[in-house]
């Protein structure tokens, strides 16, 4: 199960990403918003809570630029959120950083690219190995 949420700027992009990923066989949990104004830190907390609890495997967050969502998400213990806007970075944030939440900007990406990036994020595994040591160092920073 993949948790997805957005603020009011990301509604249309969220709908497009959900339609695409559902067609690809992913099970989505839409946490809103459906257009009503909301504050992106609250949405980040909701989606990330589903990821840290284990109810959802990964999360996708969308706001106007993706920057606010990524900043808010990374304040939550256990979350490694990445702002994704190109295929290379999206692939390597999974391979090397084991990101568990992707953030995107609705005013930055079109629906086609955003949907493809979401698929890359969800289908790319973590390489582990030497990268695990760095994830452990990130976790240690988080626990200070």
Contacts (Cβ under 8 Å, ≥6 apart) of 120:
87, 90, 91, 94
What pLDDT does 82 receive?
Answer: 98
What pLDDT does 53 receive?
Answer: 98
Which pLDDT tens digit goes with each residue over 93-123?
999 999 999 999 999 999 999 999 999 999 9
Domains of the chain by range and CATH? Answer: 2-142 (3.40.1400.10)
Active site residue 96: yes
Catalytic residue among 6, 38, 48, 63: 63
Tell me which residues of the chain have a pLDDT lower than 50: none
CB count within 10 Å of CB 80 equals 18
CB count within 10 Å of CB 97 equals 18
Active site residue 131: no
What pLDDT does 51 receive?
Answer: 98
Phi, psi of 113 (to 5 degrees): -65, -45
- CA 118 to CA 128: how far, in whole Å? 21
User: Residue 126's closest CA among 80, 65, 61?
Assistant: 80
């Amino acid at each position: 199960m993949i948790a997805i949420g957005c603020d009011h700027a990301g509604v249309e992009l969220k709908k497009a990403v959900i339609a695409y990923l559902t067609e690809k066989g992913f099970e989505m949990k839409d946490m809103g918003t459906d257009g009503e104004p909301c504050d992106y830190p609250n949405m980040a907390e909701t989606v990330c809570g589903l990821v840290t609890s284990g109810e959802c495997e990964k999360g996708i967050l969308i706001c106007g630029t993706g920057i606010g969502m990524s900043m808010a998400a990374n304040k939550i213990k256990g979350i490694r959120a990445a702002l994704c806007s190109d295929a290379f970075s999206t692939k390597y944030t999974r391979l090397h950083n084991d990101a568990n939440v992707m953030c995107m900007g609705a005013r930055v990406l079109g629906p086609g690219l955003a949907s493809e990036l979401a698929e890359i994020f969800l289908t790319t595994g973590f390489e582990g190995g030497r990268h695990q040591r760095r994830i452990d160092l990130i976790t240690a920073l988080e626990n200070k």
